[in-house]
């Protein structure tokens, strides 16, 4: 699964300014087909990997897939039935902050019908409403 190689701090605060959005995050940059988010959410590394595997298996390892998001935010958790106090829990998993309009995946090198079906199957693995877009 996707995890950062190196971080300045191991744990991150949950409050603060909203994440920055890059100017080209809503445009297809690499492939002809893409999966675009229609709402904001936190997507875990497991969900990204599950969607990637689904697409790769459906296109039978043909073509190319680009993952446009990366889970760089650590989420912490305490053990179940732990009392109050004791500080912040250890890092449990990593998430990617997604805003509406963000391109999540791109695909190229396969026929249109296969690409659209692969992206549709991948959208079922994600916790956000998505839209399949194509380059004209």
pLDDT, one tens digit per residue, over 33-51 is 999 999 999 999 999 999 9
Handedness of CA 23, 24, 27, 33 (dihedral sign): negative
| Beta bridge partner(s), residue 98 | 41
Q: Six-digit token pair at 126?
A: 């994600």
Predicted confidence at residue 21, as pLDDT, reads 61
Predicted confidence at residue 14, as pLDDT, reads 76
Predicted confidence at residue 115, as pLDDT, reads 97
Give this prediction's pTM. Answer: 0.91
* Positions in the chain short of pLDDT 70: 16-22
Q: Which letter, b or e, does each residue of 46-81 get, where b requires 16 or more Cβ atoms within 10 Å of its Cβ? A: ebbebbbebbeebbeeebebeebbebbebbeeeeee
Q: List domains and CATH numbers for the chain.
A: 33-76+91-134 (3.90.1170.10)
Q: Six-digit token pair at 82?
A: 């732990």
């Amino acid at each position: 699964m996707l995890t950062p190689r190196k971080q300045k701090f191991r744990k991150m605060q949950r409050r603060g300014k909203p994440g920055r959005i890059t100017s080209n995050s809503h445009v297809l940059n690499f492939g002809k087909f893409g999966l675009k988010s229609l709402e904001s959410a936190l997507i875990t590394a497991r969900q990204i990997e599950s969607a990637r595997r689904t697409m790769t298996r459906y296109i039978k390892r043909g073509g190319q897939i680009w993952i446009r998001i990366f889970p760089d935010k650590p989420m912490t958790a305490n053990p179940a039935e732990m009392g109050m106090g004791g500080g912040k829990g250890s890092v449990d998993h990593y998430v990617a902050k997604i805003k509406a309009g963000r391109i999540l995946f791109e695909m190229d090198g396969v026929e249109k019908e296969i690409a659209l079906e692969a992206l549709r199957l991948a959208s079922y693995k994600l916790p956000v409403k998505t839209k399949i877009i194509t380059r004209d």
